[in-house]
Structure 1
Amino acid sequence: MASLIPCPHCGQRPREEFTVKGAALARPAADADRAMWFDYVYLRDNRRGRYDEYWHHTSGCRRWLVVTRNTATHEIEGARDAAARKEAAQ
Structure 2
Amino acid sequence: MENFTATERVGIRDLKAHLSRHLKRVQAGAQIVVTDRGRSIATIAPIERGPDLAWTRRLVAEGRARWEGGKPAGPRRPVEITPKATVSSAVLEDRR
Question: What is the TM-score of this pair, normalised by structure 1?
Answer: 0.22
Highest CA radius of gyration, 1 or 2?
Answer: 2
Q: Which has the larger share of helix?
A: 2
Question: What is the TM-score of this pair, normalised by structure 2?
Answer: 0.21
Structure with the larger RCO, 1 or 2 (CA within 8 Å, 6+ apart): 1
Q: Which has the larger share of strand?
A: 1
